Structure 1
């Protein structure tokens, strides 16, 4: 009979890995345990979580670069002049629709993926979610060779790329349990950055691998098949499940009762939604606005790279100065960079436009890290207000915070769905111009800066300086 059988989970030594790689007791706030054992286990899980999430993000944004090769060129009357790769002749509106649908499905799937961690366990779900990536990769490899495919079918296949977007929510919810509060900002920032950078890697890798093997665009999907399998195997071998994260999903549902969960979700649309939406659309904008597909294919990946690398520093700055003040700074600076991008378009200056978007990407990364750092701080304040001081209450609010991370990431990711459609609307309504779309984004960023100040920075606010 084990110690757990005799006396319960509370008497099991923290950090002991049992059958099925379940850890029955986890106490990262205990500094002696953390330094002696917990930090090593948490870091190992973080590393392989990043690997799986990285592949997921790459698959999610595969279409952002594939569609650039599928665009046709048309004359002023709308007649096809030159077809794209494999005989495809997509219009800019069709391409933006594919990107929006893939982003939207990924955003929606983050909700069930969040609930999957408490139902299946973090390690178990990482394995399953990695294997699900075989669906969009094989689907893409098949359909790009079928230029007669009806557009609705193409949209449906592109939608399956959303499996990769869902990975983020479950990964972040899982990793949030492993780290103590004082290190969550940096750990979650690294986890997110490792995933986000998959966008940049895919956008740089795909143009290269397309020319390998003599099969063209199909290689974009096939190259990720063995990588998805590797991610699943590594998670199976080296990750762990935490018993305190394996519970009924009710705490996640309870997190929805707090207005701050929804407010943070809205703010996250401005940070992560902008990152994923701009990442998906940036190569297309370079192609259809400035007619530079060479730059889109060769350098379009830089935006996602800059945004990914800046994310952990947003978390680190938030750990030091507070998430709210860094978030306000990010939104104000994003509005300035957005206005600069407007000038770049109006002056037909590619250098100004490109540099403005590099700044936007960097700032979305900083804002991503700072907003995520605010979430556990907010729930700590809620626990102080509404908790009863017991260990069970502490754990309940910790689970609520982890669940809120997933829900917030889901709602925020819908920005990636909206942004391509706003560009599409702007081009169709204003004679091909994206300036009105950029102006809308500037206004939204300023509004979000004000909201953040009112609720999370203003003197006298209950959640001031979270």
Structure 2
């Protein structure tokens, strides 16, 4: 007699056969089939998750490479002032954010495995050009901007990776899986900054080519691993039409706005934190080499803790609800921003350079913002599949399979769009900081006030849209329960 367990095992075995014999292609994938999942489906998903994290991790590192390169660029050697450096790191942020939209649909069009391999190999281009350019400090500022823009291809990897992993995992585990995938990718930012620190600490701030060379090896490992161990899914759907449909829902725009506050903060501060610290150390009397070392010693800590916090935010959202965790997070971010404003204001009022005490407060406030932005990243992304899962349950004209397919398609499309809009928040942070340093006060205080006000707006939006009673908005009881 054949049991359901036997059937589930056979299904999982068939999936593995497809992986082995059909060039990493799985025609039908149903993550919500609990028995098939437990019988072996989860191992397939885990394998894809691991290499997705690695590839996305390297992509994030290349995307943020100019946040490290500017520490190797003394103004008297490269001729680029602090305002120019803020704009320089804003350019790859902008390009990476825009690329997230086409990258979102690429996995469904070309296959998750295929696109991961391709998107990893493309990273060789900005790495090689960055290496060559940093050995020629006399190049024009326009050349630096063009090469920095090419690093933006690393930012697109996030959208394709998240869309792909969203298709592999069941609804009950999406918060954890998406949080882990994104968090592991986000750690690419502090890792390259840590490698930059090690280079500066050992050989000084004159050998940036070493950082680029190390990542040429990492990119090769990511591409080979993805080719050997990842799969393409035949029933994965996410196209521009799906994105257009997803954007017809008001909640899609709300999620995108909130993601500016979480991911925009994370990536914006990640690119700018080292530069802000370097400016402070230079003002305190450090030489350019000393300022680069001291800034590098601090810069990687915030992105590292923020990355670690991301899967925690997803896990908390799985248990408590995405809406509640997001509200608590923005409330705490507003408090942390107030601390940063206070420290910066005290520095502005001081007659001399920043004191050790106010600098420590500034750093602690930034670290808190990094951690909280990581938590918020996980909780906001948990809301996305919850929204469409709830809406799908109200579509009585669709079968169970069609509902699941519709939910995956809409979620995957919005993940990419929200990621793109969120990334633009990082552009805004660097441009606001640039404008703040160009103001008569020549400090970041004005920028910090802007960030504080934005977090207050996010608190209001989160509460009004996701936490008021159902009677206050047009949602079903099921949708309310999954959000809060």
Both structures adopt the same fold (TM-score exceeding 0.5): yes
Conserved? CA contact 2:238–2:412, under 8 Å: no
State the distance in 2 between where 1:256 and 1:193 align: 26
Partner of 1:58, secondary structure, is helix
Partner of 2:397, secondary structure, is coil
**Which position in structure 2 is the counterpart of 1:234?**
225
- From 252, 265, 268, the counterpart of 1:274: 265
**Which position in structure 1 is the counterpart of 2:302?**
303
Residue 334 in structure 1 maps to residue 333 in structure 2: yes
Alignment: residue pair count: 444
Conserved? CA contact 2:28–2:234, under 8 Å: yes
State the distance in 1 between where 2:45 and 2:97 align: 27
Conserved? CA contact 1:119–1:249, under 8 Å: no
1:34-433 correspondence to structure 2 within 5 Å: 34-72=37-75, 83=76, 87-209=77-199, 216-245=207-236, 249-291=240-282, 292-348=291-347, 349-386=358-395, 388-390=397-399, 391-433=401-443
The runs of 5 or more residues in structure 1 that have no matched partner are 1-9, 73-82
Cα distance change of structure 1 residues 212 and 116 upon mapping to structure 2, 3 Å threshold: farther
Q: CA deviation at 1:229?
A: 1.3
1:447-462 correspondence to structure 2 within 5 Å: 447-460=457-470, 461=473, 462=475
Q: CA deviation at 1:429?
A: 1.8
Q: CA deviation at 1:397?
A: 2.4
Q: CA deviation at 1:149?
A: 1.0
Conserved? CA contact 1:213–1:219, under 8 Å: no
Partner of 2:235, secondary structure, is helix
**Which position in structure 2 is the counterpart of 1:77?**
none
Q: CA deviation at 1:430?
A: 3.7
Relative to the length of structure 2, the TM-score reads: 0.88
Partner of 1:148, secondary structure, is coil
Runs of 4+ in 1 over 6 A off after TM superposition: 212-215
Relative to the length of structure 1, the TM-score reads: 0.91
Q: CA deviation at 1:370?
A: 0.1
Q: Deviations over 1:114-141 (max 9, x none)?
A: 1111110101000000001001100110
Cα distance change of structure 1 residues 241 and 221 upon mapping to structure 2, 3 Å threshold: same
State the distance in 2 between where 1:387 and 1:440 align: 46
Q: Deviations over 1:328-360 (max 9, x none)?
A: 011110010001011111223111001111111
Conserved? CA contact 2:28–2:233, under 8 Å: yes
Residue 445 in structure 1 maps to residue 435 in structure 2: no
Conserved? CA contact 1:251–1:396, under 8 Å: no
State the distance in 1 between where 2:142 and 2:430 align: 18
What's the Cα RMSD here?
2.0
Conserved? CA contact 2:130–2:147, under 8 Å: yes
Conserved? CA contact 2:199–2:205, under 8 Å: no
Conserved? CA contact 1:185–1:369, under 8 Å: yes
Cα distance change of structure 1 residues 422 and 322 upon mapping to structure 2, 3 Å threshold: same
Conserved? CA contact 1:379–1:401, under 8 Å: yes
